[in-house]
C-alpha cells in the first residue's frame, strides 16, 4: 500500500494497528495504558513523540495512541488511521472542563453531539451548521456498560473549542444554558472525520477542571489517574 507509512505514523502495515484505537491527547497517557492494561505490546509509532501501541486486553486486540491537543493536530491522526490503516473505530479518552455545577472533577462525560467555533466545516454545508454526532451503537453500548460497571457517566452535547485560553464570554453561559456539559478541543474533528469516511467514533472525557469552580487536577492525575475512563473504553472496544 503506497500511502503508508504516512508522514505522521511509521507503521509499515495496517496489521500493526488494531481495528479499534483508543486516543488520549497525551502520548504519555497512551504509554501508561499500554504498560498498565495491555499484554504482548508492540510500539507502532514514535514519530514526533506521538506514541502508539498495539496489544491485547483480555484477549481482545486493541491499539492506543496519542493525538496531541486541538482539532488540527488530532484530525491528522484520525484521517491517517481511518483512511490508510483500515481502522474502523476510534474512541477518544480525553479531558474536559465542566460547564455545569452538577458535573464535578473526575466525573466522566460522553459526547452525544459536538458543537464548535472551528472553521473546518465552514461553508461545507451551505447555510447549515454541521453538528457531528457519534456512532449510536457505541453510545448505547457505553451507557449499558457503564451501568454494569457501576460507573456514573453524563451523556450530552459538548463544546469543542479551537482555543484553550480565551477571554471571558457570555457565549459559554449561553451554551451551558442550552445543556452543553463540558468544554474540550477534539471531538468535533473526530466526529466530522468519522462521518466523512463512514467510520465509527465515540468521545468520552474525564473532567479535569471546572470553569465554574476554577479547580483543576494535576498533570500527573491527567496522565495516570483517570483509570475508570480507561477501563470503560477498553471494555467498550469492539472485538
Which pLDDT tens digit goes with each residue over 47-72?
A: 999 999 999 999 999 999 999 999 99
What pTM, to 2 d.p., does this model score?
0.94
Tell me, yes or no, whether 8 lies in a domain.
no
CA–centroid distance for 11 within its chain: 21
Contact 223, 28 (CB under 8 A): yes
Least confident of 56-65, 105-114, 219-228: 219-228
Q: Is 209 a catalytic residue?
A: yes
Specify the DSSP class assigned to residue 15.
G
- As a whole number of angstroms, the distance between CA 62 and CA 21 comes to 6
Q: Is the dihedral of CA 157, 194, 239, 94 positive or negative?
A: negative
pLDDT of the residue at 138: 98
Residue 215 CA to residue 8 CA, distance in Å, equals 35
Number of domains in the chain: 1
The three state secondary structure string of 16-74 is: HCCCEEEECCCHHHHHHHHHHHCEEEEEEECHHHCCEEEEEECCEEEEEECCCCCHHHH
**Packing angle between helix 71-84 and helix 187-196, nearest 10 degrees?**
30
Stretch among 111-115, 144-148, 150-154, 208-212 having the lowest mean pLDDT: 208-212
Distances (CA, A) of 154 to 39, 59, 111, 117, 140: 31, 29, 9, 23, 13
Query: Which of 88, 209, 217, 221 is flagged as catalytic?
Result: 209
Nine-digit cell string for 169: 464570554
162 occurs within a structural domain: yes
* Residue 39 lies inside a defined structural domain of this protein: yes
In a domain, 186, yes or no: yes
| pLDDT surpassing 70 at residue 38 | yes
Q: What separation, in Å, do the N-terminal and C-terminal C-alpha atoms of the chain show?
A: 25
What is the pLDDT of the chain when averaged over all its residues? 93
Domain for residue 1, yes or no?
no
- Inter-CA distances, 128 with 47, 205, 217, Å: 37, 28, 37
Say yes or no to pLDDT of 215 above 80: no
CATH number for 134: 3.40.50.1580
- Output the pLDDT for position 223: 54
**What per-residue confidence (pLDDT) applies to 45?**
98
Give the CA distances from residue 68 to residues 45, 48, 92, in Å, rounded to whole numbers and listed in that order: 14, 10, 12
pLDDT for residue 41: 98
**Containing domain of residue 219, as a range?**
14-236
Lowest mean pLDDT among 21-25, 26-30, 53-57, 169-173: 169-173
Q: Which pLDDT does position 168 carry in this prediction?
A: 72
* Percent over 70 (pLDDT), the chain: 94
Question: Does the CA dihedral 74-31-156-193 come out positive or negative?
Answer: positive
Q: Is residue 3 situated within a structural domain? A: no
Q: How confident is the model at residue 210 (pLDDT cuts 50, 70, 90)?
A: confident
Q: Let me know if residue 5 belongs to a domain.
A: no
Say if 6 falls within a structural domain. no
Cβ pair 211, 100 in contact under 8 A: no
Amino acid at each position: 500500500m503506497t500511502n503508508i507509512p504516512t508522514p505522521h505514523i511509521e507503521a509499515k502495515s495496517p496489521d500493526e494497528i488494531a481495528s479499534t484505537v483508543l486516543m488520549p491527547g497525551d502520548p504519555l497517557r497512551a504509554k501508561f495504558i499500554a504498560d498498565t492494561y495491555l499484554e504482548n505490546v508492540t510500539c507502532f509509532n514514535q514519530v514526533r513523540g506521538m506514541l502508539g501501541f498495539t496489544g491485547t486486553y483480555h484477549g481482545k486486540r486493541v491499539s492506543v495512541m496519542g493525538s496531541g491537543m486541538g482539532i488540527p493536530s488530532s484530525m491528522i491522526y484520525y484521517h491517517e488511521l481511518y483512511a490508510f490503516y483500515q481502522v474502523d473505530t476510534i474512541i477518544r479518552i480525553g479531558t474536559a472542563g465542566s460547564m455545569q455545577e452538577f458535573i464535578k472533577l473526575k466525573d466522566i462525560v460522553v459526547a452525544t453531539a459536538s458543537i464548535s467555533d472551528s472553521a473546518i466545516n465552514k461553508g461545507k454545508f451551505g447555510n447549515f451548521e454541521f453538528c457531528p454526532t457519534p456512532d449510536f451503537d457505541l453510545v448505547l453500548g457505553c451507557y449499558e456498560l457503564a451501568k454494569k460497571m457501576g460507573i456514573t457517566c453524563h451523556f450530552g452535547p459538548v463544546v469543542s473549542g479551537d482555543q484553550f485560553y480565551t477571554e471571558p464570554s457570555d457565549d459559554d453561559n449561553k451554551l451551558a444554558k442550552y445543556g452543553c456539559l463540558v468544554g474540550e478541543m477534539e471531538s468535533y474533528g473526530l466526529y466530522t472525520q468519522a462521518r466523512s469516511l463512514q467510520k465509527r467514533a465515540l468521545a468520552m472525557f474525564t473532567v479535569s477542571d471546572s470553569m465554574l469552580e476554577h479547580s483543576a487536577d494535576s498533570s500527573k492525575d491527567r496522565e495516570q489517574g483517570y483509570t475508570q475512563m480507561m477501563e470503560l473504553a477498553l471494555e467498550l472496544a469492539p472485538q
